[in-house]
Structure 1
Amino acid sequence: MRERGGKATVDERYTQWKSLIPVLYDWLANHNLVWPSLSCRWGPQLEQATYKNRQRLYLSEQTDGSVPNTLVIANCEVVKPRVAAAEHISQFNEEARSPFVKKYKTIIHPGEVNRIRELPQNSKIVATHTDSPDVLIWDVEAQPNRHPMLGAAESRPDLILTGHQQNAEFALAMCPTEPFVLSGGKDKSVVLWSIHDHISSVAESTSKSPASASNSSGKQSIKAGNEKSSDSTTVGPRGVYQGHEDTVEDVQFCPSSAQEFCSVGDDSCLILWDARVGTSPVVKVEKAHNADLHCVDWNPHDQNLILTGSADNSVRMFDRRNLTSGGVGSPIYKFEGHKAAVLCVQWSPDRASVFGSAAEDGFLNIWDHERVGKKKERAGTKTPNSPPGLFFQHAGHRDKVVDFHWNASDPWTIVSVSDDCGSTGGGGTLQIWRMSDLIYRPEEEVLAELEKFKAHLLSCSPKS
């Protein structure tokens, strides 16, 4: 191998990974992006069929200014487990677009799209961050489809959330229990909004089409009270929370409460907040990491566990029961497997102890904290030098993995995106993938299935 981190090393690693796709993956789709996307999120599932499901996918196009920046709504065909032929999933052209991903609608975005987050109660409503103090809210189904050409007028967001005093570029979250939005910015503040008063219930669907199906059964949509106005409706904050000493890089709601949330920032702090007791920190962990913190996630299955990712290349797991208001508290565990800054962490919706982490080293690691400390880890899922808890490493990206999202509708299915400007000089790569179920299922279950397969092969073999 040539010098570590060099171009040749990346190419050799990628070639090796591609040769192992039929063994490691149940399904994988590779989609070349002309412009890099800094965020990727799953939208609502539209249709279930025998061999695949159709689902919305939210992306962006971060352009060089020759054409406008855009928020992209795509339709994605997600192949069901154990359907794709192993020999076919590795046969893709890196420079081509995937037949499984088709652009459905384009919104011309005011500035770059740094972050996309969907409203859990109705995922056709999304929030975006750009290089401004405002948060933009879009009803993506109601927005007109636009053709992004130089000089085209920007699309008008349905709502603009104001309250930051300086740019808020990345820290963004939407509440799982109520239509609340949370943001952090360069003004060192965390800002909370309610968009409840701007959302109306739709009792009946006005159309039978899949696109409007998500509006039915009491789902919510943004009120069209501002249609005649040339300006979008603005919404002021419900609360502004001060406690960080530097830029707030990420925020997250407690999964069961719209009043409790957490934030991390460039001051190396993890802060827990409770809107019911005021605008000051409830708990402030002063040195959560030894460098800037980039990301945070709160476990939806066990609400005592919080993950943080940092520029110190590590992921740390905190138990909020161990944290005190004096800022004392050590992580339960440090997960050290990345060789560059961690940009994104997210708990799996499918298993309480599993989470993913994406980093500037081009890897998306899948961890299981319950495996940490166990003497025996399953053969084949842990190499002698791999860090404790790491049981799968997605190496399909050749540059920094800037975002990923577990699919709540299709278990163990992940969308991930890389910004390839450093390796190929431009563009990005979107991958939708699902590891083989033989990797994450209980060992006894897998061995029993393999025994059945062995018995079947023996019964089919010619008798001597």
Structure 2
Amino acid sequence: MNESKKEGTISTTPLSIEERYSQWKSLVPVLYDWLANHNLVWPSQSCRWGSLLDHATYKNRHRLYLSEQTDGTAPNTLVIATCEIVKPRVAAAEHIAMFNEEARSPFVKKVKTILHPGEVNRIRELPSNTNIVATHTDSPNVMIWNVESQPNRNNAALDAPTSIPDLVLTGHKDNAEFALAMCSTEPFVLSGGRDKLVVLWSIHDHIATLATEEEPDVNEGSNVGGNSEKAAQSPSVGARGVYRGHKDTVEDVQFCPSSAQEFCSVGDDSCLILWDARVGSFPAVKVEKAHDGDVHCVDWNTHDINFILTGSADNTVRMFDRRKLNNRGGIGSPVYKFEGHDEPVLCVQWNPAKSSVFGSGAEDGIINIWDHEKVGKTSGSADTTVPETSPGLFFRHAGHRDKVVDFHWNASDPWTIVSVSDDCASTGGGGTLQIWRMMDLIYRPEDEVMAELDKFKSHILGCDTVTDSATDPATPSHT
């Protein structure tokens, strides 16, 4: 073990995964307001919050989407679950870290299973109709599901026929595995694939029929592809627009939050491209060298549409201001380059509650939480084992022991995150799902926090032991 860790000093020797995890777990009661750990039998490549289902006094219940990526001994599935989220300052500090890594969480309950034709690589919910979900698999097609009308296929046999998508979106010429987005203003779907194309669809005319429980017309359809030899046929929709500009696989796409006609894409050609469907199928702005490696992910700020985040195989997250991009030379300088990961960044997302905050997940098993407004100011990470060398970084979630393949902020329960890691490399199989929320004293304005702590000054000074104040989750012992 690293002896230099004692007495608050920082070691220059990197911690092993297990050492880092053990240290993180010991800090859980100090850094987190709530945390639930859920062991997954099969890895999940995507995790997404769905709609808020129910309010209660101490908890809220949300829909949660997951997948099960199997080894062939069981069907691949799209899972619809419910998750109970404990409200802020309800959970007792001493109970938060008391979980078994090999156990399922009582807060997460599987509601419905859809037997998916092929692996589920991406899941996206349509904001205007939360029963409609799109998925990507290892095929050129995008699949659309009505999760309410789809039959529950839980405990199905391995040779059982796969579920039939309510709609199939066609237009790619090669596999489209990861780049997938749903528009917040119109029923539009966006995808990218190995064919270097960005493809746009409208499902506006099909929303009404997707609400029915009738079997798809097998006479007019498209083979859904995937791993199933018995892949059924579903009604299909062709592309509304096909956009060419990338020179390699398109890894991620995202709509502008305020416009169904504007969107962006990133790919293995290191490019960031902004598109405007109103002016044609060619790039509106193309940043040829957005990163020094493949660009894996992109997100567009919902509060300030000028800011776009990208994450890359070069281990960095970069923030671009679209007002400062142009086509001259194809080079656009990022507003800032965020360096805090040791391995490729796989996912980025802006916080829906605060415009300057975002998260990034990477193959190093870490989810970093950043605030770009803190860049240039004295600000340290909430992880005391990390030197203050990453401006803007103020929290590190180290609860995963393998690569973080996805995470998602909860829009209706701000600051609550669901994250999932693929643990095959470290444990030989399975995955870990975590739902967590950092202590609010970490992200709230400093003057507000100090004013609250000041109220407990006399109590702190009057305590004979640290444990005297640990029973009250609102006291500084919980912060």
* The two structures share one fold, judged by TM-score above 0.5: yes
- Provide the C-alpha distance between the structure 2 equivalents of 1:28 and 1:307, rounded to a whole number of angstroms: 27
Quote the offset at 1:162 in angstroms. Answer: 0.3
- Provide the C-alpha distance between the structure 1 equivalents of 2:284 and 2:23, rounded to a whole number of angstroms: 48
Question: Aligned ranges for residues 6-405 of structure 1 at < 5 Å?
Answer: 9-147=16-154, 148-200=156-208, 222-224=210-212, 227=215, 229-230=217-218, 231-326=233-328, 327-374=330-377, 376-377=378-379, 384-405=387-408
- Name the % identity: 75
**AA at the equivalent of 2:198:** V
Pick closer, same or farther for the CA change 1:445–1:193 going to 2, 3 Å. Answer: same
- Provide the C-alpha distance between the structure 1 equivalents of 2:416 and 2:286, rounded to a whole number of angstroms: 34
- Provide the C-alpha distance between the structure 2 equivalents of 1:104 and 1:176, rounded to a whole number of angstroms: 26
- Provide the C-alpha distance between the structure 2 equivalents of 1:417 and 1:384, rounded to a whole number of angstroms: 26
Quote the offset at 1:120 in angstroms. Answer: 1.2
Pick closer, same or farther for the CA change 1:342–1:143 going to 2, 3 Å. Answer: same
Q: How big is each residue's C-alpha offset from its partner over 1:55-84, in whole Å with a ceiling of 9 and x where there is no partner?
A: 110000000001100000011100000000
Pick closer, same or farther for the CA change 1:421–1:318 going to 2, 3 Å. Answer: same
Gaps of 5+ in 1: 201-220
**AA at the equivalent of 2:215:** E
Match of residue 444, structure 1, among 447, 461, 465? 447
With structure 2 as the length reference, what TM-score do the two structures score? 0.88
- Provide the C-alpha distance between the structure 1 equivalents of 2:35 and 2:449, rounded to a whole number of angstroms: 21
- Provide the C-alpha distance between the structure 2 equivalents of 1:71 and 1:350, rounded to a whole number of angstroms: 28
Is the contact made by 2:121 and 2:177 (CA closer than 8 Å) also made in structure 1?
yes
SS of residue paired to 2:131: strand
Is the contact made by 1:31 and 1:98 (CA closer than 8 Å) also made in structure 2?
yes
Is the contact made by 1:381 and 1:439 (CA closer than 8 Å) also made in structure 2?
no
- Provide the C-alpha distance between the structure 1 equivalents of 2:380 and 2:343, rounded to a whole number of angstroms: 27
SS of residue paired to 1:163: coil
Quote the offset at 1:123 in angstroms. Answer: 2.1
Pick closer, same or farther for the CA change 1:225–1:86 going to 2, 3 Å. Answer: closer
Gaps of 5+ in 2: 3-10, 219-232, 465-479
Is the contact made by 1:7 and 1:423 (CA closer than 8 Å) also made in structure 2?
no
Quote the offset at 1:386 in angstroms. Answer: 3.4
Q: Aligned Cα RMSD in Å?
A: 1.9
Is the contact made by 2:190 and 2:254 (CA closer than 8 Å) also made in structure 1?
yes
SS of residue paired to 1:277: coil
SS of residue paired to 2:16: helix
Pick closer, same or farther for the CA change 1:130–1:359 going to 2, 3 Å. Answer: same
**AA at the equivalent of 1:19:** S
- Provide the C-alpha distance between the structure 2 equivalents of 1:117 and 1:437, rounded to a whole number of angstroms: 28
Higher mean C-alpha displacement, 378-387 vs 121-130: 378-387
**AA at the equivalent of 1:38:** Q
Pick closer, same or farther for the CA change 1:19–1:222 going to 2, 3 Å. Answer: same
Quote the offset at 1:381 in angstroms. Answer: 7.1
- Provide the C-alpha distance between the structure 1 equivalents of 2:68 and 2:104, rounded to a whole number of angstroms: 15
Is the contact made by 1:297 and 1:308 (CA closer than 8 Å) also made in structure 2?
yes
